């Protein structure tokens, strides 16, 4: 018969054996278990998302006819504005293509938008992420960029079959190349944890010492294609103030992100086209906001 | 005791609690707040299930939560199992587990888990700014405040599920039966 001391240590041994088996298990086994559980949870998540949509639908039904007419009128204005922008975009794309052909430039990788509803949002001190209602069945893969009507939203962290986890631009582990639009010098953007009840924020490093912000103004920060995740020119945020960097060679900026990041309902994933194109009618290079995102 | 039914009920209840917490966090995201409620998932299984059933229950509950977390695979599962082990090892010193003590235990385990997650985030992101600690402190106090009534409800809920399944909630103390 085992001694009482050994009996007391038995749970410890069982746990140690289980942990050893888990750590020694091949990565494929652990990944498979994760994917299996994600697949198992997907119907519940999708049902919850549809329930939220239904809730929105019924709350909209309670609106008065007058407010619906006003919303329809505003929507019509936006649609007209979007039509004009699309025409300008088409002209710009044609001009770009002509110049690229003249200069014999290699074709740039193209993207198309995969619009997805947001199921869950999570804003903890540890991470900031959302779960969206589309996965690798829709061509979404790990590491792809995610945008919304305000600019860059984040990056796909984990694409499962029906859902995907997106790491938000405000997450401390999110880091991409950025620039100031007219100034092509690359800078590094990284998300920063903010205190509760504060707007999402980030930090930009490696800004030149000569850079100044006039009082009462802000500098706009854009994505850079150097990141190979986002194309040039997507808004990241606005630089509020500059501080000297720790190395004394560069400046660091505090970036204010779009406050709508905390209430995302719909985003678009930038799915790279299989055949690289410079951007034609069927596979537009994203240079603005995808339509219909909230 | 029909442990096979017990572990299935405890597992389902745990997954439901974790899913409800995720839904509440979805609503709180607009204010940059979140709740962390994992402590109550461990207490009853640790007190009432024999080792194989306990392992199955907490492994399934932990892996289900891990599927949506950016932590390494099995992170919460290992925390669940370690928490259950700590409870079992501490049983001889804890004495009889009255309801108030069980709730206190869930509160304590939740606080420990929160500390582990925060340490992991600090190591992973090198996050040590004032805003990070402010955010973590607010989340911690909010979670620890909410976890008390939630645990009270959760234990009643598990009791109701057991009663619906025609099972008794009274189980043996597993620490002595290994």
Together in a domain, A207 and A136: yes
- pLDDT-based confidence at residue A2 (cuts at 50, 70, 90): low
**Residue B70, pLDDT above cutoff 50:** yes
Identity of the residue in A33, A158, A194 whose CB atom sits nearest the CB atom of B63: A33
Same-domain status, A190 and A287: yes
The number of distinct structural domains making up chain A is 2
- Using a CB–CB cutoff of 8 Å, tell me whether A101 touches chain B: no
Q: Band the pLDDT of B71: cuts 50, 70, 90.
A: confident
Task: Read off the pLDDT of each residue in B85-110 and give the average, rounded to a whole number.
Answer: 83
Q: Verify that A263 and A141 share a domain, yes or no.
A: yes
> Count of A–B CB contacts within 8 Å?
139
The last residue of a domain, from among A61, A80, A95? A61
* Residue ranges of domains in chain B: 3-168
Q: Which domain holds residue A124?
A: 106-294
Chain B contact probe: residue of A126, A166, A203 with most B CBs at under 10 A: A126
What's the pLDDT score for residue B2?
47
- B103 and B146 Cβ atoms separated by less than 8 Å: no
CATH number of the domain that residue A294 is part of: 2.40.10.340
Structure confidence by residue, pLDDT tens digits, A194-217: 888 888 899 998 888 888 888 888
ipTM: 0.84
Q: Which residues of B touch A8 (CB under 8 A)?
A: 89, 92, 175
- Domain assignment of residue A94, yes or no: no
Report if residue A2 sits inside a domain: no
User: Is A76 domain-assigned?
Assistant: no
Domain annotation covers residue A258: yes
Pair A26, A148 in one domain: no
pLDDT of the residue at A20: 85
**Sign of the CA dihedral running A175, A180, A186, A187:** negative
Chain A hits for B32, Cβ within 8 Å: 123, 194-198, 200, 262
Q: Which residues of B touch A198 (CB under 8 A)?
A: 32, 131
Average pLDDT, chain A: 84
Where does a domain end: A61, A79, A98?
A61
Mean pLDDT taken over chain B: 86
Residues of B in contact with A158 (CB under 8 A): 70
CA distance A63 to chain B (A): 22
Instruction: Calculate mean pLDDT across residues B22-32.
Output: 91
Q: Is the pLDDT of residue A55 over 80?
A: yes
Claim to verify: residue A127 and residue A42 sit in the same structural domain: no
User: Do A190 and A260 share a domain, yes or no?
Assistant: yes
Q: Does A32 touch chain B (CB under 8 A)?
A: no
Q: What is the pLDDT of residues A77-134, one digit of tens each?
A: 999 999 999 999 999 989 988 998 898 887 777 788 999 999 999 999 899 999 999 9
> What is the per-residue pLDDT across A146-185, written as a single tens digit (0 to 9) for each?
999 889 999 999 999 999 999 999 998 899 999 887 777 8
Query: Closest Cα partner for A117 from A42, A57, A53?
Result: A53
Taking the C-alpha atoms of residue A124 and residue B28, their distance in angstroms, rounded to an integer, is 10
- CA distance to partner chain B, nearest, from residue A7 (Å): 6
């Amino acid at each position: 018969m085992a001694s009482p001391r050994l009996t007391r240590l038995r749970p410890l041994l069982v746990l140690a054996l289980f942990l050893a088996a888990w750590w020694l298990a091949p990565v494929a086994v652990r990944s498979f278990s994760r994917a299996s559980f994600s697949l198992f949870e997907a119907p519940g998540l999708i049902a919850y998302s549809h329930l939220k949509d239904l809730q929105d639908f019924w709350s909209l039904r309670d609106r008065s006819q007058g407010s619906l007419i006003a919303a329809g009128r505003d929507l019509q204005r936006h649609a007209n504005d979007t039509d004009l922008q699309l025409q300008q975009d088409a002209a710009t794309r044609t001009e770009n293509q002509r110049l690229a052909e003249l200069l014999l430039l290699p074709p740039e990788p193209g993207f198309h938008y995969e619009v997805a509803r947001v199921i869950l949002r999570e804003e903890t001190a540890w991470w900031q992420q959302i779960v969206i209602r589309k996965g690798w069945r829709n061509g979404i893969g790990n590491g792809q960029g995610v945008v919304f009507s305000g600019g860059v939203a984040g990056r796909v962290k984990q694409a499962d079959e029906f859902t995907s986890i997106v790491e938000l631009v405000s997450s401390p582990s999110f880091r991409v190349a950025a620039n100031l639009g007219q100034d092509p010098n690359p800078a590094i953007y990284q998300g920063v944890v903010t205190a509760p009840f504060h707007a999402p924020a980030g930090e930009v490093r490696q800004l030149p010492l000569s850079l100044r912000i006039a009082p009462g103004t802000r500098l706009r920060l854009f994505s850079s294609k150097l990141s190979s995740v986002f194309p040039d020119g997507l808004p990241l945020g606005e630089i509020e103030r500059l501080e000297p960097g720790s190395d004394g060679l560069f400046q660091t900026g505090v970036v204010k992100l779009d406050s709508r990041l905390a209430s995302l309902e719909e985003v678009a994933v930038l799915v790279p086209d299989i055949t690289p194109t410079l951007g034609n009618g069927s596979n537009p290079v994203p240079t603005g906001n995808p339509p219909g995102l909230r | 005791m029909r442990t096979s039914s017990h572990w299935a009920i405890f597992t389902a209840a745990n997954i439901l609690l974790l899913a409800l917490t995720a839904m509440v966090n979805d609503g709180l995201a607009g204010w940059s707040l979140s709740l962390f409620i994992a402590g109550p998932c461990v207490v009853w299984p640790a007190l009432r299930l024999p080792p194989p059933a306990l392992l199955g229950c907490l492994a399934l509950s932990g892996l289900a939560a891990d599927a949506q977390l950016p932590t390494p695979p099995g992170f919460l599962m290992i925390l669940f199992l370690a928490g259950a082990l700590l409870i079992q090892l501490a049983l001889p010193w804890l004495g009889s587990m009255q309801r108030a003590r069980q709730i206190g235990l869930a509160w304590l385990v939740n606080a420990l888990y929160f500390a582990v997650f925060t340490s992991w985030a600090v190591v992973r992101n090198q996050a040590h700014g004032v805003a990070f600690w402010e955010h973590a402190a607010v989340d911690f106090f909010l979670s620890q405040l909410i976890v008390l009534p939630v645990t009270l409800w959760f234990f009643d809920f598990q009791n109701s599920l057991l009663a619906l399944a025609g099972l008794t909630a009274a189980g043996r103390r597993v620490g002595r039966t290994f």
